[in-house]
Amino acid sequence: MKNKKTLIILILAFAVLLGGAYILYSQLGQSQLPDQLSVEQQGKGETEENQKPLAPDFTVYDADGNEVKLYDFIGKPIVLNFWASWCGPCQMEMPDFHEKYLELGDEINFLLINMTTGRETLESAKSFIAEKGYTFPVFYDTKSDAAIAYGAYSLPTTYFIDSEGYAVAHATGAIDGETLQRGIDMIK
């Protein structure tokens, strides 16, 4: 009798353990899309009375190795996206960014900043862009200047900056086309 009770308890404990593992696995397996954009309230840059933080400037490099600064693009709204070719969520959102770039590239500056440090190389990033046929502007953060300025330690991360250079909103994690459009609407 005692052996049957022990066996039943072990079977129940194992079933609970399996159920918990299944729930945890299914939660982790879902794509992590933010429900909404985070509106900037505090920033690393200077602020004015409207309390929007001034987007920090940084230096990155274009495909030809020319130095480029964020402030070179002030005057039009900016969609600033940090990504890497090995990042699955980054790959997931890229088609939406490309579609919006083709649609709005004359009105909005799209700056896709490749985190070209650590496991990412210029060659792997350029190969990824060419293979996918993306035509949006890609810049390379080879010295982590942009990543440090924005605290972009999680990929992908997207900032929406208005035409005056103020960071209006950001999203950490992959965003879908609808969320991308909401961010763009906030800076137009």
pLDDT in tens, 21-52: 455 444 433 333 334 567 554 344 444 445 77
- Give the chain's residues under pLDDT 70: 1, 10, 12-37, 39-50
pLDDT in tens, 141-158: 999 999 999 999 899 999
- The whole-number pLDDT of residue 29 equals 37
- The whole-number pLDDT of residue 50 equals 57
For the chain, the first-to-last Cα distance in angstroms comes to: 74
Taking the C-alpha atoms of residue 40 and residue 43, their distance in angstroms, rounded to an integer, is: 7
Q: Which CATH superfamily is domain 38-187 in?
A: Glutaredoxin (3.40.30.10)
pTM: 0.76
Domain boundaries defined on the chain: 1-30, 38-187
- The whole-number pLDDT of residue 44 equals 42
